[in-house]
């Protein structure tokens, strides 16, 4: 057991784990068909979907990693959130009517409606492949601090398995319970509750830490003097650090893809009753996302202030592939400086973010594999058979995520992709969808070639600098690395450019 916990902390954690599973099972009852399972019967209130959107994109790694950014640097990551807000407004105005003009199960169906089955399958396949890798990486890296929080004995199930594998299996298994039974409706409602929990955790930390360092005025004076409150950088660069151009251009394109062309988030918009509800859900997420990230960035700055005058009771664990030493600062503070019971609530904030991202990945993968591949290839399946397959595919994807997360520990340079793996395909997916909806005369072949070219270019940009054997050659040849906020923009431009060059020529008049 963790020596920093007492019975009250464990009671809070166990109450949360049991309560969220029970809540998911309750909201997910009475699933009759795939419309219920993957669209939530389209009777979920827009505000629940809006909160679920934010929860789905906020993993446990975000909750611990965002404070670490400010602890080790400053608030400049806020410039990325400006683009995140802009993109949601654009999507609400432009894309939601396309999603809800009929009853579709994924954005890739729009590609088939405009271009044919080939682009749909390519887009769906890209999503399945990269989302599996990205979600597996997020699960593994998030379970490293969870192992620290819960302790070796709990995560190893009394010494029966490796602690990391035990943590992975525990959280994927718990998330699977309600995802299997209730589908997207259970996921959305548990997401909404989990959003409230990790928001409350952030607010508590923001209000509590200043009481330990002389109050708000004193804390922010020290943070300001240390440069921790700097948030704006107007210098353009393709590499770190964050700058306003990355936010307005790169951040906007990232969210246009993640919330407009990737099933993980789009599935929630597709569950809205009407176009108006879909727009309100996205706008609500735009209103919430900026203050949420600001809270956790300020927590990081205040943690830096705290540790300027207080010794660290336990040393930060060493940097590991995919997670830096600073990423442990918030968990270490929770373990050593927060009173009992309140400590349990803060741990629950991280656990809720972990389970939310896991359940979201499972239902998105199950939806695309079932509705974009199985159903078109087996059109004679009855609704009952298709629903049964949908639930089996959820179990299958849970097993795949456990396997990928476990194997990831052996492929060290892959772990550095925790936040950027999705960028390898996000430009291809966004570019393909834009061409399908807004470009005339671009045929299916041109779109497919453009998407594949984008994936190839992004792999060339991403992987070589992360392979130690070729890193020196890469940096000497190209002068630096391309920072992940630019990935989606570059990938989208490649897709559009290649497809435009191959644009189908109109037939000559007889």
pLDDT in tens, 305-331: 999 999 998 888 877 666 778 888 998
Contact residues for 132 (Cβ-Cβ < 8 A; gap 6+): 365, 397, 400, 401, 404
Beta strand residue intervals within 4-46, DSSP E: none
pLDDT (average), residues 29-47: 90
DSSP state of 320: B
135-176 tens-digit pLDDT = 888 888 778 777 777 777 777 777 778 888 888 898 899 999
Q: What is the pTM of this model?
A: 0.91
343-365 tens-digit pLDDT = 888 888 888 888 888 999 999 99
Q: What residues does 320 pair with on adjacent strands?
A: 323
Burial 96-106 (b: 16+ CB within 10 A, else e): bebbbeeebbb
pLDDT bracket for residue 507 (50, 70, 90):
very low
Determine the angle formed by the axes of helices 163-208 and 342-368, rounding to 10 degrees: 120
Query: Cα separation of 369 and 367, whole Å?
Result: 6
pLDDT bracket for residue 465 (50, 70, 90):
low
Which tokens sit at 250? 């790169």
pLDDT (average), residues 81-98: 96
Least confident of 301-315, 453-467, 469-483: 469-483
Query: Cα separation of 118 and 447, whole Å?
Result: 10
Query: Cα separation of 308 and 502, whole Å?
Result: 59
- The CA-based dihedral angle spanning residues 199, 323, 161, 395, taken in that order and rounded to the nearest 10 degrees: 60
pLDDT (average), residues 112-117: 92
- In order of 108, 128, 297, the CA distances from 437 in angstroms are 11, 22, 37
- Enumerate domains of the chain plus CATH numbers: 27-310+333-501 (1.20.1730.10)
Neighbours of 378 (CB within 10 A): 11
What was the pLDDT predicted at 474? Answer: 64
- In order of 137, 217, 467, the CA distances from 475 in angstroms are 26, 44, 12
Contact residues for 98 (Cβ-Cβ < 8 A; gap 6+): 110, 437
Average pLDDT, whole number, for the chain? 88
State percent of the chain over pLDDT 90: 58
């Amino acid at each position: 057991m963790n020596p920093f916990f007492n019975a009250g902390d464990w009671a809070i954690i166990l109450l949360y784990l049991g309560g969220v599973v029970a809540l998911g099972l309750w909201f997910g009852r009475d699933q009759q068909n795939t419309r219920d399972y993957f669209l939530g019967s389209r009777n979920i209130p827009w505000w629940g979907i809006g909160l679920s959107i934010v929860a789905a994109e906020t993993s446990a790694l975000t909750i611990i990693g965002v404070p670490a950014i400010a602890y080790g640097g400053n608030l400049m990551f806020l410039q990325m959130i400006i683009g995140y807000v802009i993109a949601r407004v654009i999507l609400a105005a432009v894309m939601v009517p396309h999603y809800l003009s009929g009853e579709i199960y994924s954005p890739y169906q729009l590609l088939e409606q405009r271009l044919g089955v080939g682009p749909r399958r390519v887009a769906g396949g890209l999503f399945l492949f990269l989302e599996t890798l990205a979600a597996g990486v997020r699960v593994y890296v998030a379970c490293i601090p969870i192992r620290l929080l819960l302790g070796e004995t709990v995560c190893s199930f009394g010494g029966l398995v490796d602690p990391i594998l035990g943590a992975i299996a525990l959280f994927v298994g718990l998330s699977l319970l309600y995802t299997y039974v209730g589908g997207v409706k259970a996921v959305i409602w548990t997401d909404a509750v989990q959003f409230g929990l990790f928001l409350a955790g952030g607010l508590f930390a923001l209000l509590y830490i200043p009481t330990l360092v002389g109050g708000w005025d004193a804390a922010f004076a020290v943070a300001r003097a240390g440069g921790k409150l700097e948030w704006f950088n107007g210098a353009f660069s393709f590499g770190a650090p964050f700058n306003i151009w990355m936010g307005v251009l790169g951040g906007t394109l990232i969210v246009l893809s993640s919330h407009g062309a990737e099933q993980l988030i789009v599935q929630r918009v597709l569950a809205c009753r009407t176009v108006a509800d879909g727009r309100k859900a996205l706008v609500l997420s735009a209103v919430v996302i900026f203050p949420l990230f600001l809270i956790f960035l300020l927590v990081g700055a205040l943690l830096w202030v705290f540790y300027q005058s207080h010794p660290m009771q336990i040393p930060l664990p060493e940097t590991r592939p995919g997670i830096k030493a600073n990423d442990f600062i918030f968990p270490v503070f929770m373990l050593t400086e927060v009173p009992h019971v309140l400590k349990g609530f803060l741990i629950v904030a991280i656990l809720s973010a972990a389970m939310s991202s896991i359940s979201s990945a499972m239902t998105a993968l199950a939806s695309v594999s079932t509705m974009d591949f199985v159903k078109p290839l087996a059109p004679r399946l009855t609704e009952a058979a298709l629903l049964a397959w949908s639930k089996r595919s959820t179990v299958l994807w849970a097993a795949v995520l456990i396997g990928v997360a476990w194997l990831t520990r052996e492929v060290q340079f892959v772990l550095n992709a925790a936040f950027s793996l999705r960028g390898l395909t996000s430009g291809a997916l966004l570019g393909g969808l834009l061409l399908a909806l807004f470009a005339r005369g671009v045929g299916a072949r041109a779109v497919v070639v453009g998407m594949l070219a984008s994936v190839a270019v992004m792999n060339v940009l991403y992987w070589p600098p992360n392979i130690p054997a070729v890193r020196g050659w890469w940096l000497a040849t190209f002068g630096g690395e391309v920072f992940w906020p630019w990935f989606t923009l570059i990938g989208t431009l490649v897709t559009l450019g290649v497809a435009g060059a191959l644009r189908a020529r109109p037939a000559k008049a007889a």
